[in-house]
Amino acid sequence: MQFISCTYDAHAIAILDILNEAIVNSTALYDYKPRTLDSMVHWFESKQNGNFPVIGAVNENSILLGFASYGTFRAWPAYKYSIEHSIYVHRQHRGKGIGYALMQQLIATAGEQQYHVMIGGIDVNNPGSIALHKKLGFTHAGTIQQAGFKFNRWLDLAFYQLVLDTPTHPVDG
């Protein structure tokens, strides 16, 4: 397995397949309808415009096994050192350590980019993701009860955070 920087041209379809499987079959995404390829244009543009990584894990045949990224946590200026991340692994490759390896890469990148807090919003009924985050040192920061409604039930959203040693010189404004 190797890590690459994903691009629209090379990876949009594979990322879309991973996301849409999660939308249709899980509460990993609080979304109802599969996304379109057109939606990936804006997704990649927003990542590029924000200088946010899209890290992919590929096998020896350059098949995308999973990806991880982050973006703005909240739009107000004082949150500039906080980011919210996402990680998704293809259904056929879960449980093989790919998510852990992707998160290690993402954490390293966040430190290099001088972020201070990584935040993950995780459905409370996703024990695999919660265990992964705890293994990486994330701590539970709170749960919003009944934050979403999907599959005919209310969903509770737990937030997990990792505080990094960066930035070296934080500034106001």
Q: How many CB atoms lie within 10 A of CB 110?
A: 22
3-state secondary structure 79-98: HCCEEEEEEEECHHHCCCCH
pLDDT in tens, 109-149: 999 999 999 999 999 999 999 999 999 999 999 999 999 99
Question: What's the rounded Cα separation, in Å, for the pair 59 and 14?
Answer: 13
Average pLDDT over residues 8-12: 96
Question: What's the rounded Cα separation, in Å, for the pair 4 and 51?
Answer: 15
Q: Above 90 in pLDDT, residue 80?
A: yes
CB 76 within 8 Å of CB 95: no
For 115, the token pair is 């972020």
Q: Which pLDDT belongs to residue 151? A: 97
Identity of residue 173: G
Spell out the domains of the chain, with CATH numbers in brackets: 2-163 (3.40.630.30)
Both ends of the chain: CA-CA distance in Å? Answer: 41
Averaged pLDDT of the chain: 96
Q: Above 90 in pLDDT, residue 173?
A: no
Average pLDDT over residues 99-103: 97
pLDDT in tens, 53-74: 999 999 999 999 999 999 999 9
pTM of full prediction above 0.75: yes
